[in-house]
Amino acid sequence: MSLYLLLGVSTNADEAAIRCAHRAACAALPASHLGRLEAWVTGRSQRHLDHALAVLVDPARRERYDRDLLRNLVLAQAPPGH
């Protein structure tokens, strides 16, 4: 899952939208121990959300992330053996 999908924002979202989505996602995290464990397993824990925020609001880190995301997408769509 991409960091954009994790926070529920578009790839051209600005910093304010990213921070707002982060706050909303954190507020929606489960309070129970079992719920927190499930969130961790599915990649939607507080730690995952904080990582997404840190990457997407830092221009240099976001640029590297976007470049890697695009490269991985292109590789995933390449025919086998190429």
Reported pTM: 0.81
Q: For the chain, which ranges sit under pLDDT 70?
A: 78, 81-82
- Which residue is associated with the tokens 């989505």? 21
Whole-number pLDDT of residue 81? 66
User: Helices 15-27 and 46-57 meet at what angle, rounded to 10?
Assistant: 180
Give the CATH number of the domain where residue 8 resides. 1.10.287
Whole-number pLDDT of residue 82? 58
CA 28/CA 55 separation, integer angstroms: 21
Q: Note whether residue 37 is domain-resident.
A: yes
Q: Note whether residue 82 is domain-resident.
A: no
Range of the domain at 38: 3-77
- Give how many domains the chain has, as a whole number: 1
